[in-house]
Amino acid sequence: MMNQYYCDSTTIFILSLLVTTIPFCSTSTTSNHYHFNVEWRNITRLCSTKPILTVNGRYPGPTIAVNEGDNVQIKVTNGVSINTTIHWHGIKQVRTGWADGPAYVTQCPIRPGQSYTYKFTVSGQRGTLWWHAHIAWQRATVYGAFIIYPRMPYPFAAPVDAEVPIIFGEWWNLPVEGIEDEMKMYGSGPNSSDAYTINGLPGSLYPCSVQDTFVQMVEYGKTYMLRIINAALNDELFFAIANHTLTVVEIDASYTKPFDTEAIMITPGQTFTVLLKTNQHNGMFVMAARPYLTTVFPFDNSTTIGFLKYNKATTALITNTSNIILPHNLPHMEDHAYATKFVSQLRSLGTTQYPCKVPKNIDKRVVITISLNLEDCPTNKTCKGYNGKRFAAAMNNQSFVRPLTSILEWHYRNYSLTQDFPLKPPHVFDYTGVDPLTHNLNPNFGTKLFAVEYGTRLEIVLQGTSFLNVENHPIHIHGHNFFIVGTGFGNFNAKKDIGRYNLVDPPERNTVGVPMGGWAAIRINANNPGVWFMHCHLEEHTSWGLASGFIVKSGAKPSQRLLPPPDDLPQC
């Protein structure tokens, strides 16, 4: 009854042309039907026009907004001459792995001219998520917000007056479709992007972009909810708004203990919901995002900006870029200390209503090294990786090769799958201390998975290595959220580190930034039957093979089994 009262009396408006307004906090389960047509559109950015892949001609794509518990059906029609798939990032897909989206993992691609309807229920999660293409590098332009409105009032005090999506992306002047092909052909690194974007707009620090600057009108004395999504392909980002503090309240559609911060660090794949109090009386305030640098590879070191414009501000858009001062609270690109401190503040809300369901005990521990590798150049080939070799990347020295079939379908049909992914590193060595130039950096190539029984309380220790370079790797797991019970620098040491885990209120996420030159331990209630992709959300690393997957077997009860495949499931 209380909820009913609360819900009826509250309406939230989303302030942007990007999204539609939906009633907040409805108490009935509804079905939401969307139609996504994948099509080309000519878009002009940074002084040039090029065709990009879009959904319904929109860039960024349309927002999906549903209520917790709703059924969702999204019919995706492929209107272009290349294959496509769409992934609903962070949606658990309980028993509906067929709707998860990664090409050749849970489905064959939707072919040109064909349609596939993704059907699933959104339950047990609420907040900001997103969707994106999950084949080749299509997610560079094919992405959008996925918002889940809660059934219950927000667990934080502030009333929310309006919502603002803040979606970061990356823009290439040349067609992005060729990048992965070039990487595969030469074993090279990708060309860096030419710009970062906020809601598809690079902002006035880039050439020809003054008009392509995101401006959010605000009023004094209100609370705005920013739904922040990092859809960039290859870069962790810092984000700040001049003279304003942000209050983090939710990450990856899981509530957190609220805390104030001057800036956030967000990896590709992650989302943050933050509250912004408009406590300045007047003026234009710069918001800016730039990379958090942990790589030695070439990268895009530019900065995207937008503005928060108070309604009484008379200032015109600043057109002279030399007059733009970046927020003083925006961390420097190499501010590792800031990134580490910021991440260490994240905690699950952990209340009676939203308990933190971290497994206190585990059934299985898997230790996985994350490495960048070098493969010798095949004879008669041109290789453009380091030292005339080919770049690769691996988990436990296994570089993932996508098969030409749907792994989930093979699993469902009981066809044989290689389930011998090593559950610990094949060799023990000084993972984060080894000299990358003298070590043998060759990986093995294949499609190896591991399997766990339904209901396994699984711990995965993700161990960074110094192969080629120490970097922050945002590891994303499909089909489950996980709890980040521990992180550290150097090599994971079971004797010392397990005792220091946070088993009370660790943050719950779907993507963890494994610290540069360190490790992260995550715990998963593996209670969603299916085949789940696990990969680095830096697209360049996934292209090199930094991926694997695990099978959660169906349980004994009917409600613990993977559902049968839908009739329109694409075939290979």
229 vs 408, which CB is nearer to ligand NAG? 408
Radius of gyration of the chain (CA): 23
* Residue that is written with structure tokens 């580190």 in the block: 497
Closer residue to ligand NAG in complex, CB, 37/280? 280
Q: Report residue 369 CA to chain centroid gap.
A: 20
CB of 393 to Cu ion, least distance (A): 7
Task: Residue 397: name its binding partner from ligand NAG, Cu ion, none (Cβ under 5 to 8 Å by kind).
Answer: ligand NAG
Among 3, 20, 301, 419, binds ligand NAG (CB under 6 A): 301
Q: Which is nearer to ligand NAG, 353 or 414 (CB)?
A: 414
Query: With CB under 6 A as the contact rule, which of the stretches 320-328, 384-392, 504-512, 535-543 interacts with ligand NAG?
Result: 320-328
Closest CA to 91 of 123, 133, 60: 123
| Beta strand pairing call for 518-526 and 456-464 | antiparallel
112 near 82, Cβ under 8 Å?
Answer: yes
328 near ligand NAG, judged by CB under 6 A? yes
* Position 309 contacts ligand NAG (CB under 6 A): no
The interface partner of residue 50, options being ligand NAG, Cu ion, none and the CB cut-off 5 to 8 Å by kind, is none
Q: Indicate the SS3 state at residue 201.
A: strand
- Kind plus residue range of the DSSP H or E element containing 8: helix 2-8
Residue 473's binding partner out of ligand NAG, Cu ion, none, with CB under 5 to 8 Å set by partner kind: Cu ion
Would you count residue 379 as binding ligand NAG (CB under 6 A)?
A: yes
State the first-to-last Cα distance of the chain, in angstroms, to the nearest integer: 50
Q: What is the distance between the alpha carbons of residues 531 and 565, in angstroms, rounded to a whole number?
A: 13
Task: Pick the closest to residue 216 from 229, 201, 238 (CA basis).
Answer: 201
Count of residues near Cu ion by CB under 5 A: 4
Subset of residues 535 to 554 that bind Cu ion, contact rule: CB under 5 A: 536, 538, 541
Q: Between 57 and 159, whose beta carbon lies closer to ligand NAG?
A: 57
CA 240 to CA 154: how far, in whole Å?
24
Backbone conformation region of residue 194, classed left if phi is above 0, alpha if psi is from -120 to 50, else beta? alpha
Q: How many C-beta atoms surround the C-beta of residue 48 within 10 A?
A: 12
> Which is nearer to ligand NAG, 11 or 44 (by Cβ)?
44
444 near ligand NAG, rule: CB under 6 A:
yes
Say whether residue 413 binds ligand NAG (CB under 6 A): yes
Q: Which is nearer to ligand NAG, 242 or 475 (CB)?
A: 242
Among 83, 141, 197, 295, binds ligand NAG (CB under 6 A): 83
What residues have CB less than 8 Å from 213, skipping those under 6 apart? 201, 202, 203, 204, 305, 306, 307, 317
User: What character string, x for contact with ligand NAG (CB under 6 A) and - otherwise, covers 168-197?
Assistant: ------x---xx--x--------x------
231 to 250: interface string for ligand NAG, x by CB under 6 A: -----------xx-------
Q: Does 97 bind ligand NAG (CB under 6 A)?
A: no
| Distance between CA atoms of residues 443 and 395, nearest Å | 9
Q: What is the DSSP letter of 86?
A: E
Residues 461-480 that bind Cu ion (CB under 5 A): 473
| CB closer to Cu ion out of 186 and 297 | 297
Q: Take residue 186 and report the two structure tokens written for it.
A: 């030469």
> Which of positions 26-65 make contact with ligand NAG (CB under 6 A)?
40-42, 51
E-strand ranges in 271-314 read 271-277, 284-291, 304-310
Task: Identify which of residues 343 and 538 has a Cβ nearer to Cu ion in the complex.
Answer: 538
Cα gap 160→149, rounded to integer Å: 13
Name the binder of 296 from ligand NAG, Cu ion, none, CB < 5-8 A by kind: none
- What the block records as the tokens of 533 is 């992709």
The residues, any chain, with a CB within 8 Å of residue 337's CB and separated by 6 or more, are: none
State the Cα angle at 509 between 508 and 515, rounded to 5°: 105
Residues 110-129 that bind ligand NAG (CB under 6 A): 111
- Using rule CB under 6 A, residue 9 touches ligand NAG: no
Residues that bind ligand NAG (CB under 6 A): 40-42, 51, 82-83, 108-109, 111, 174, 178-179, 182, 191, 242-243, 280, 283, 301, 320, 322-323, 328, 379-380, 397, 404, 412-414, 426-427, 440, 442-444, 572
Residues that bind Cu ion (CB under 5 A): 473, 536, 538, 541
